[in-house]
Structure 1
């Protein structure tokens, strides 16, 4: 298995994702318990922001490490990594 740049911080990343998982379970509970719709929407917004924070952290690391390393390797590798990052940003913006 490859070790990516975030490997040393993997536990912190997993902790953040477990927190998001808990938020989603809380949302399921809220629906089960017939919580007020605006309260559910507020919690959905919080879960989305938490996932976006994880995504931005990963994207920043990707640019700082993967794209930067590819730039040192040559323009063709760098162009591929920039395209990869651009596509990921486009997917994030659409969501």
Structure 2
């Protein structure tokens, strides 16, 4: 299983690095959020999948899936709120 988990863990680390580079390099808030949320969600998914393979139990894999789904939900809501407040008119976009 470690041969299957290692590429997933490395891919997760790569996507986290790519999201961080996007956060630092892109010019405005909306493109930064796009780079960060997409790459970090995929990176966390790869890390959770790799850790689930290493754990070897269905219970741990299910808990990692719940962690990933909750992180997806939190990232979606927080990115929406940040993008909305970054609009030129303020929080309501007017």
TM-score for the superposition, normalised by structure 1:
0.50
TM-score for the superposition, normalised by structure 2:
0.50
